[in-house]
Amino acid sequence: MALPPPLPPGSTIGILGGGQLGRMTALAAARLGYRCVVYSPEAHAIGGDVAVAHVQADYGDMAALARFAAQVDVITYEFENVPEATVEACQRHKPVRPGVRAIHVAQHRLREKAFFRELGLATADYQAIASEADIAAATALPGILKTCTEGYDGKGQVRVADRAALAAGWAALGRRGCILEALVDFTAETSVIVARGLDGETRCFPIGRNDHRDGILRTTMVPSGLPAATVATAERYGIALARGLDLVGLVALELFVARDGSVLANEMAPRPHNSGHWTLDACATSQFEQLVRAVCGLPLGPTDMLFPSRMENLIGHEADDWLRYLADPAARLHLYGKTSARPGRKMGHVTFVPAAAPSRSTT
């Protein structure tokens, strides 16, 4: 089957979701001559601040989705918790890249883990927890109990040491469907971000070493310093995932590097990822530009690292130090335009590069 022609500059990309990932995607699209329209339920969407339009409506408003689709040439999403029905409704009008399959897998942790194993990706031991009988039979202990749906940045999960703690944790999470994942004795956390184009070409970004605190990514260091064999396994996993999803766009796969050297798949996100923000300032093509290239049917860009970097998230009032970062010749500051800071909220990020490195982008 012949591929559709690339969308030329001047075309319009629709983005489901109006957060910082949509914002940075819209900025990357504008640099290449594309327009973006953001769709989100919020009255104020920071992605909409830099797009040509913001359609404010509920994700279940079929009439509004049809009006949104009529304004654009292709649609993508900036977070994986957009309802499947929303994506399916959009697909009736315009191409959605990635499509519904990627979020169907990503929105349910048990489906996600089973899909990883189908593709040959190793994972930690896990089991479903949906009843007291499941608790009585639990063996993946000590572990992390997580809700199967929703939850991010450490929300919707609790560490449990034994069956008594598991029962208490399940009650605290609302006695809903959960997954129990055995704790992993890991030496490093990393992630691989893979782009896949309409023609099936795949490209991996250089992987970084991630540091999480309280369930939130705090820093990403590139290069990772991990052994070549570990990097090769991470890339193989990421490419297998992108192909298995028949994805057009980006997918990020978070990974543990266990003490025995094995690499274990943890979670996926079919969109730009926090651990790839460094690419805005230290990579030949940013992850956001790569998403635009993929969904518009353009050639994928090179993913060479230009220089080493360290990305730090600015959480809550840490962003109040913006003036200090602007005075640092090695810092590249990106603020997201959020109007109020609160604990755990990502307000921006800063990437530290060699002081002589030129600035590549503005957010």
Hey, what domains does the chain have and what are their CATH numbers? 12-96 (3.40.50.20), 125-182 (3.30.1490.20), 186-352 (3.30.470.20)
Percentage above 70 pLDDT, the chain: 98
> How many Å apart are CA 55 and CA 215, to the nearest integer?
32
Taking residue 323's Cβ as centre, other Cβ atoms within 10 Å add up to 8
Backbone angles phi, psi at 201, to 5 degrees: -65, 140
Question: Both tokens of residue 38?
Answer: 């953001």
Q: Please answer whether residues 336 and 316 qualify as being in contact, where contact means their C-beta atoms are separated by less than 8 angstroms.
A: no
pLDDT in tens, 94-111: 999 999 999 999 999 999
Distances (CA, A) of 37 to 165, 199, 265: 46, 25, 34
**Over pLDDT 90: what percentage of the chain?**
94
Whole-number mean pLDDT of the chain?
96
Using the predicted structure, report yes or no on whether residue 33 has a pLDDT greater than 70: yes
Q: What pTM was computed for the model?
A: 0.95
pLDDT class of 1 with cuts at 50, 70, 90: confident
What does R_g of the chain's alpha carbons equal in angstroms? 20
Band of the pLDDT at 362, cuts 50, 70, 90?
very low
For residue range 312-349, list pLDDT tens digits in order: 999 999 999 999 999 999 999 999 999 999 999 999 99
Token duo for residue 198: 């309409």
Report yes or no: 163 and 138 within 8 Å, Cβ to Cβ: yes
